[in-house]
Amino acid sequence: MTPSVVTGISIASFCLASGVGLWLGQILPQKEWSRENQELVKESRRLVVGIATLSLSLILAWATTSFNERQNEIENSASKIVGIDSTLAKLGTKANEPREMLHSIVTKGIARIDAIAASGFGTEETRKGIGINKLQIKILDLKSETQADEWLKSSALALVKELAQYKWLQFSGNNGSIQSPVLIIMIIWLSIIFLSYGMVSPLNWTGAVTLLVVSLVTSSVIFVILDLDSTSGGLIQSISSQPLKAALQQIDSVRVN
């Protein structure tokens, strides 16, 4: 499910829980709503609020780490691509074909990243190979006339091997690292909190609007977490082909010169 859908479900769950709480607060007999029982509800709520706060903090840190890893992966890929082209260029004209293959890989990679950003992994565009293995074979086939050539070829192969480990070059990847059971449990915990708030809230417009606003704010936190964790769509662009486009421009400028 998309972050927007989960956020909508969260808002509905929190509002429903608040409404049920308001209803229970009115229909419960006075003897069931004694001061001792109210204190019990408040203390239980504090416990659940503490657990939910800690869990949300951990999930937010998890999502932020995932977001940063994707950003760093593309930036590191761009630097390695420039390094591969620069290394192959030192081998002279015999490396022209591998350099052309590298140019094609970067072009296809940009299209793949744009497809991932639009629709996530698992689409037809992301299942197509872009030729990284063929590039390795082509570099291996280069003849080394000197020790310097052999060193340059080994260096290029090492960089290509490192580049091949990145997820945007693979046939599959994760659209998000946060699993559905974690979200379901978190929404249940937060719904219990809103249920308890509804039970002690006065049945008037001020209480109802306050619960609605807090529901929206809490749901917005869930939306930000899921948007950070998601590879596709959303308000936060978690994966961008811009570093590869910059690398491609640099490669092209070197070839022209």
For helices 96-119 and 132-140, the axis angle rounded to 10 degrees is: 160
Q: How far is it, in rounded angstroms, from Cα 50 to Cα 101?
A: 55
Q: What number is the average pLDDT over the span 66-91?
A: 86
Q: What number is the average pLDDT over the span 120-129?
A: 59
The residue type of 30 is: Q
pLDDT grade, residue 206 (50/70/90)? confident
In this predicted model, what pLDDT tens digit does every residue of 208-242 receive, in sequence order?
Answer: 899 999 999 999 988 888 888 776 656 666 677 88
Greater pLDDT, 20 or 123: 20
In this predicted model, what pLDDT tens digit does every residue of 148-161 receive, in sequence order?
Answer: 889 999 999 999 88
Neighbours of 118 (CB within 10 A): 12
